[in-house]
């Protein structure tokens, strides 16, 4: 009897075990089946960060395009893989013209990580268009930016925001004399890559300070090389503005380059040829102050000039903007020269100040004749 009870107990345990294992096996099979279903939305050709890195360069090879399929405003603007172009999936059909004409070109799509479907959907569409070499970097930007030694890139509008926030160091990696002094992004400091090692002391002490390097655009490597060096130094928040100064000029105007004023031979005077050039091409780039009397000004002056008679100038000097070069004009250079020396005396810190040492004959129709001093 006892043996029978034992047999029943053992049989029950065995049956229980069989049921338990059978159940687990069936659950595993179900999970695998579910996972298989879940990955069906993915593109068939997935690559990793190493593949991306191996195929991108500065400048980008002609037969390779790295495409950010995320929304432009919310994502791309504030961080993307350097060299990537923005073709959000929602805008795919409108931006087919941005894809290479060569159907054998390498197209690498990415978006916001493994759960993001935008890059996969875009890749499928591209393949339907006839592209034969399409890949998806599925782990996308979140993985890219987390990998040691990697850095992201910003759009110009994000750089503008960083400048406004005033907590990021913007570094111009181009040569000082031939590029930086002719025009640069506001607040940028000059650390030409060729002098990086000697000038790196200009970088912030706090290694967590955000730093953005830029140079002469997508074909320029200087910002990238500088970013790599900064990362090697231990800086933790390094980015590049890879479209660089050409893009900045396009978005926010010519900045200092067009405003560049050349001094004349007489102390404080502006080079007359340069002055004529500025009036013709970019008069808004300077603050032009006509220091003649109001009645003289009313009879004719430069279109962009403001009138502050020299007698009224002194109390207003403290309010003069330092955002643009200040150029004083009158009809002979006497009053404008006086204005120049007044500024030098009253507000020495205002450095970009000039006057026109020439006779100017203003006509009532807005035209003028400038006679250079002999």
Partner 1 sequence: MFKKYMSTSMVILFLLVSFSMAFASEGPGGNDRKGKYTYRKVYKACAKTGGVESATPKISPADKTMGQWQEIFENKNFDEFGCMDNWSVLPDKDILDIYSYFYNHASDSPSPATCK
Among 4-12, 93-101, 181-189, 260-268, the segment contacting partner 1 (CB under 8 A): 260-268
Would you tell me how many other CB atoms lie within 10 Å of the CB of residue 99? 18
The answer to whether residue 298 forms part of the interface with partner 1 (CB under 8 A) is no
- Kindly list the strands in the beta sheet with 64-68, ordered across the sheet, starting from the edge strand earlier in the chain: 46-47, 133-137, 106-110, 64-68, 85-86
Structure tokens at 49: 């960060």
Name the minimum Å distance from CB 367 to partner 1: 23
Q: Which residues contact 203 (CB under 8 A, 6 or more apart)?
A: 169, 171, 191, 211, 230, 233, 235
Alpha-carbon Rg for the chain, nearest whole angstrom, is: 33
Binding test (CB under 8 A) with partner 1, winner from 79, 82, 152, 268: 268
Q: Are 296 and 312 in contact (CB under 8 A)?
A: no
- Distance between CA atoms of 237 and 208, rounded to whole angstroms? 6
The answer to whether residue 48 forms part of the interface with partner 1 (CB under 8 A) is no
Binding test (CB under 8 A) with partner 1, winner from 83, 152, 244, 333: 333
If the CB atoms of residues 268 and 325 are measured against partner 1, the closer one turns out to be 268
Binding test (CB under 8 A) with partner 1, winner from 110, 131, 193, 340: 340
The DSSP bridge pattern shows strands 368-371 and 359-362 to be antiparallel
The answer to whether residue 338 forms part of the interface with partner 1 (CB under 8 A) is yes
If the CB atoms of residues 237 and 332 are measured against partner 1, the closer one turns out to be 332
- Distance between CA atoms of 206 and 300, rounded to whole angstroms? 55
- # of chain residues touching partner 1 (CB under 8 A): 16
Structure tokens at 119: 């890059």
The answer to whether residue 335 forms part of the interface with partner 1 (CB under 8 A) is yes
Name the minimum Å distance from CB 317 to partner 1: 12
Name the minimum Å distance from CB 328 to partner 1: 11
Name the minimum Å distance from CB 305 to partner 1: 17
The answer to whether residue 157 forms part of the interface with partner 1 (CB under 8 A) is no
The answer to whether residue 267 forms part of the interface with partner 1 (CB under 8 A) is yes
Binding test (CB under 8 A) with partner 1, winner from 127, 257, 277, 293: 293
Among 135-143, 160-168, 226-234, 330-338, the segment contacting partner 1 (CB under 8 A): 330-338
If the CB atoms of residues 253 and 373 are measured against partner 1, the closer one turns out to be 373
Residue 331 main-chain phi, psi, to 5 deg: -95, -15
The answer to whether residue 307 forms part of the interface with partner 1 (CB under 8 A) is no
Burial 311-348 (b: 16+ CB within 10 A, else e): eebeeebeebeeebbbbbbbbebebbbbbbebbeeebe
- Distance between CA atoms of 98 and 65, rounded to whole angstroms? 10
Name the minimum Å distance from CB 312 to partner 1: 13
Structure tokens at 107: 């197209």
If the CB atoms of residues 55 and 307 are measured against partner 1, the closer one turns out to be 307
Q: Using the structure block, give the residue that is written with the tokens 């102050």.
A: 289
If the CB atoms of residues 33 and 345 are measured against partner 1, the closer one turns out to be 345
Binding test (CB under 8 A) with partner 1, winner from 332, 350, 352, 368: 332
The answer to whether residue 342 forms part of the interface with partner 1 (CB under 8 A) is yes
Name the minimum Å distance from CB 279 to partner 1: 22
Q: Are 136 and 111 in contact (CB under 8 A)?
A: no
Name the minimum Å distance from CB 298 to partner 1: 16
Among 73-81, 114-122, 201-209, 329-337, the segment contacting partner 1 (CB under 8 A): 329-337
- Which of 110, 132, 128, 127 is CA-nearest to residue 119? 110
The answer to whether residue 264 forms part of the interface with partner 1 (CB under 8 A) is no
- Distance between CA atoms of 320 and 326, rounded to whole angstroms? 8
Name the minimum Å distance from CB 273 to partner 1: 20
Q: Are 113 and 141 in contact (CB under 8 A)?
A: yes
Residues of this chain that bind partner 1 (CB under 8 A)? 266-268, 293, 332-335, 337-338, 340-342, 345, 355, 357
């Amino acid at each position: 009897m006892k043996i029978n009870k034992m047999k029943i107990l053992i049989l029950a345990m065995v049956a229980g075990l069989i049921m338990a294992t059978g159940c687990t096996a069936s659950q595993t099979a179900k999970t695998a089946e579910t996972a298989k279903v879940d990955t069906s939305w993915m593109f068939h050709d997935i690559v990793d960060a190493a593949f991306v890195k191996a195929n991108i360069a500065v400048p980008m090879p002609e037969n390779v395009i790295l495409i950010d399929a995320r929304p432009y405003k919310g994502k791309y603007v504030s961080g993307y893989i350097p060299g990537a172009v923005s073709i959000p999936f929602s805008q795919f059909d409108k931006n087919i013209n941005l894809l290479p004409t060569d159907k054998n070109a390498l197209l690498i799509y990415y978006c916001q990580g493994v759960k993001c479907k935008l890059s996969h959907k875009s890749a499928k569409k591209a393949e339907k268009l006839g592209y034969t070499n399409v890949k998806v970097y599925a782990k996308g930007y979140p993985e890219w930016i987390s990998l040691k030694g990697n850095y992201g890139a910003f759009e110009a509008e994000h750089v503008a925001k960083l400048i406004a926030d005033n907590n990021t160091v913007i570094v111009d990696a181009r040569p000082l004399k031939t590029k930086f002094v002719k025009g640069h992004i506001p607040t940028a400091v000059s650390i030409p890559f060729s002098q990086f090692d000697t000038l790196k002391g200009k970088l912030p002490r706090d290694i967590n300070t955000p730093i953005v390097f830029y140079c002469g655009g997508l074909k320029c490597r200087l910002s990238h090389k500088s970013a790599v060096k900064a990362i090697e130094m231990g800086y933790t928040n390094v980015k590049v503005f890879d479209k660089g100064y050409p893009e900045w000029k396009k978005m926010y105007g010519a900045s200092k380059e067009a405003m560049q004023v050349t001094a004349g031979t007489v102390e404080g005077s502006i080079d007359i040829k340069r002055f004529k050039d500025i009036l013709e091409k970019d008069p808004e780039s300077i603050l032009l102050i006509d220091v003649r009397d109001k009645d003289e000004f009313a009879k004719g002056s430069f279109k962009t000039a403001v009138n502050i008679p020299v007698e009224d100038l002194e109390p207003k000097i403290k309010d003069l903007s330092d955002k643009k070069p200040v150029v004083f004009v009158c009809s002979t250079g006497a009053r404008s020269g006086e204005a120049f020396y007044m500024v030098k005396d009253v507000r020495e810190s205002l450095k970009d100040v000039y006057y026109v040492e020439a006779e100017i004959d203003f006509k009532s129709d807005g035209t003028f004749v400038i006679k250079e001093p002999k």
